[in-house]
Amino acid sequence: MPSEWIAGDDQARALQGEWTLANYRSIKSAIARSEIGKKSQEHISLKAITRLDTAGATLVVELIGIEKSRTVAQWADELPKEQQALLIRIAEAMDAPLDVEPPSYSRISQALASVGQHMVALWSQQRQLLAFIGLVVATLCHLLLRPRRWRLTATVAHIQQSGLNAVPIVALLTFMVGAVVAFLGATVLADFGATVYTIDLVAFSFLREFGVLLAAILLAGRTASAFTAQIGAMKSNEEIDALQAQGLAPIELLVIPRVMAMLISLPILAFVGMLSGLAGGAMVATLSLDISLTQFMSTLQKDVSVVHFLVGLSKAPIFAFVIAVIGCLEGFKVSGSAQSVGAHTTSSVVQSIFMVILIDALAALFFMEMGW
């Protein structure tokens, strides 16, 4: 049946008119009514087509087939070159597989790519940390001259949570580590008949390193994760957005009290850790090494300078600031889901412990070069 778009009989058909997107539905209906293309011996002519675009070319390719469309220049040379090229391009696109196989890489390439991705992520993370440290320092300097804006209640509450509540676990852990260090030192030094130097070993190790380092690691796992979870939960519940809508600064309201609490708590905990470690060493010396408590104290006073105590305690504020800033930053990076809160809480603990150990190693090298 002849139509506006298709003319001829069952043996020879001619496509005519404007095969464009504007006429797509009409052409599609005409094709369905005429059942064109159902017979393999049917000849289809294209010379009566006056206009052709991508939509019309797709219908033509469906009618005459992909293989015949690729050779359209041979049997329909009366068609303009542009339309021939369009039909060939559409046929190639329709013949291409939809599922593209991902390129395969060697294991070495994949390992190098993974290392590169981790390095880029680490660099981005450190840049964010430096920027956040600058923001916290700027806010802290701004508040120092405005005592009325200090949030003493929040600071005292965080001191109790991060400092006072952590005293038992810090004291217990450093006491046991002090006992272990004394046992190990005595075991090695006994071969040289120098068991008495176990006192110096325990004193130097806890005054310079273990006292502040163990307290910082405990707070990195205990307090940094708490800071991240608290701020992350507020971020998930859109409470931080509500604070900003009320004109309140989240850094001033949430970060500064936590930073100040850590700056006060960690030196105190480090001092407690030093005393507990010395107490653990003294217990082992008294019970196992036949060193009296009086001898332990007199040797400690004679051989150990107060410089070692000051060196160890000087690292506590730096550790406290880094732990608090990392914990708060990871809380602000939470995206809004419970899974994100857990991921950033874990990240804050790992980053805090890593940075504490890194700074401690650099400080040890610095103090050694300075002769302190």
Per-residue pLDDT at 38: 52
Per-residue pLDDT at 41: 46
Q: How many Å separate Cα 42 from the centre of its chain?
A: 64
Beta strands in the chain (DSSP E): 6-8, 12-19, 43-52
Nearest to 280 by CA among 217, 218, 214, 206: 206
CA distance 286 to 68: 100
Per-residue pLDDT at 154: 87
Q: How many of the other CB atoms lie within 10 Å of CB of 54?
A: 12
Per-residue pLDDT at 170: 92
Identify any residues that bridge with 48 across adjacent strands, giving them in sequence order.
16
CA distance 342 to 282: 41
Q: Do residues 205 and 312 touch, judged by C-beta distance below 8 A?
A: no
Per-residue pLDDT at 25: 83
Q: Given strand 43-52, what is the order of strands in its sheet? A: 6-8, 12-19, 43-52
Residue 16, classed as helix, strand or coil, is: strand
The number of residues in the chain equals: 372
Nearest to 197 by CA among 306, 303, 308: 303
Q: How many Å separate Cα 335 from the centre of its chain?
A: 11
Residue 44, classed as helix, strand or coil, is: strand
CA distance 3 to 237: 64
- Please report, to the nearest 10 degrees, the dihedral formed by the alpha carbons of residues 140, 145, 151, 155 taken in order: 60
**Inter-CA distances, 13 with 2, 8, 47, 108, Å:** 9, 5, 11, 59
Residue 364, classed as helix, strand or coil, is: helix
Beta strand 43-52 with 12-19: parallel, antiparallel or unpaired? parallel
Q: Do residues 45 and 15 touch, judged by C-beta distance below 8 A?
A: yes
CA distance 210 to 181: 10
The model's pTM? 0.69
Structure token pair of residue 332: 């602000």
Nearest to 318 by CA among 240, 262, 255, 251: 262
Q: Do residues 312 and 207 touch, judged by C-beta distance below 8 A?
A: yes
Per-residue pLDDT at 98: 62
pLDDT profile of the chain (372 residues), mean per 10: 61 75 81 64 70 82 78 75 81 72 79 90 88 90 84 89 89 93 86 82 89 92 89 85 84 89 92 92 86 85 86 92 92 81 88 92 88 79
Q: Which residue has the tokens 């294209």?
A: 46
Structure token pair of residue 29: 């209906």
End-to-end CA distance of the chain: 104
Q: Do residues 8 and 14 touch, judged by C-beta distance below 8 A?
A: yes
Q: Do residues 80 and 48 touch, judged by C-beta distance below 8 A?
A: no
Beta strand 6-8 with 12-19: parallel, antiparallel or unpaired? antiparallel
Per-residue pLDDT at 11: 61
Q: How many of the other CB atoms lie within 10 Å of CB of 295?
A: 15
Which amino acid does the sequence have at 215?
A: A
Nearest to 11 by CA among 42, 35, 34: 42
CA distance 19 to 295: 106
